[in-house]
Amino acid sequence: MRVLSTLIATAALLAGIALAQGGAAEPLSPRETVRVAYVSITKFGTLYVAAERGIFDAYGLDVQIDRVASGTEAIAFLEQGQIDVGGIAIVVSLWNGWDQGLDLRVIAPGGLEPFEGSPTKLMLRADLADTITSIEDLRGRTVAVAGGPGSGGEYLAAKALERGGLTIFDVNLVNVANADMPLSFESGAIDAGILGAPFADQSEGTGAAVPFAEDLTPGLMTVAFVGSGRFVEERPEVARRFALALLEASRLMQGDDLFSTENVDAFLTYLPGTTAEALMSGAPVVYDPNQEIPVDGLADVERVHRENGRTAYETPIDLASVVEPAFMEWALEQLGRVD
């Protein structure tokens, strides 16, 4: 672990030096605009840090970033050509779209679930803690997820319920936005819910909810940066530098550097409603310093949605047709790999 920590620290230092010297690759000239929509969660931290610490700018990118309510909304904007990249959960509408020829590609991972101490948990309303003591006890109860049927939240709920031999059809699943879930716990509108940082910590801090099932999907990528086919096919030099900026940001987010003043300021810029204290007290997600796309985890997400009948098809999708690793591979050639 000490050797790995040293390698990561060295990589972060080199990334910082590269940025100070103008970047690891030549900036684009003339400058290029990249339109990005994101869902407001910590797992898109590389986007926030790359934007606020001038990394995109160093590569000649003018990145316009807009917040959306859900991944489904971002997918619609990608389809319509209104944005180039979406920071989204891997939701069922995306799988169905891929099956029907939707031309979108996963180009970079978001933050990964840690192997231990994940900030995304199944939370239980605190006043039910004496009544509901096992996953099996959730049968017939109201469980909230952000995004509704086929969403990333539903996938996590399914993984939690699997532990008790239940499916999503054994509970009353409701759609509640992440930011609204703490109040839903306080009002008694929901019994349990899938909630990530910083809102899970806020709910626990107020005494409204308690952790009930944790580490649901160790090491899994539940969110990703997805590029439109037009962006991927017609603007490869732009996509390469976008990926390089995310990779460079990830190298500045390792170990104790994750919550540097500059990084915290970046998170707060794009996460309205949270505070530095809430951000830093929560269990951090993992920002892979190599930004590899974990295809095996994607396959499990697809399997669960398909087996739950959320997809409009029955034959598994060939992930090679929807994952585009070339841009991040190029970025790794510029900065080097952390082993």
For the whole model, what pTM was predicted? Answer: 0.76
Domain ranges of the chain: 2-114+220-335, 121-213
DSSP per residue over 296-329, as a string? Answer: HHHHHHHHHHHHTT-SS--SPP-GGGTB--HHHH
pLDDT at position 86, please? 97
With 0-12 / 13-18 / 19 or more C-beta atoms within 10 angstroms meaning exposed / middle / buried, residue 96 is middle
Tokens of 166: 């239940």
Please tell me the CATH superfamily of domain 121-213, with its number: Periplasmic binding protein-like II (3.40.190.10)
pLDDT band at 235 (very low <50, low <70, confident <90, very high): very high
Q: What whole-number percentage of the chain has pLDDT above 90?
A: 75
Q: 249 and 258 in contact (C-beta within 8 Å)?
A: no
Is residue 31 within 8 Å of 241, Cβ to Cβ?
no
User: What topology is assigned to 2-114+220-335 in CATH?
Assistant: D-Maltodextrin-Binding Protein; domain 2 (3.40.190)
The number of residues in the chain equals 339
241-290 pLDDT, tens per residue? 999 999 999 999 999 999 999 999 999 999 988 899 988 876 668 999 99
Closest C-alpha to 41, from 171, 231, 244, 224: 224
Do the domains 121-213 and 2-114+220-335 match in fold?
yes
Mean per-residue pLDDT of the chain: 90
Confidence of residue 152 (pLDDT cuts 50, 70, 90): confident
Segment 183-234, tens digit of pLDDT? 999 999 999 999 987 899 899 999 999 999 999 988 889 899 999 999 999 9
CB atoms within 10 A of CB 133: 11
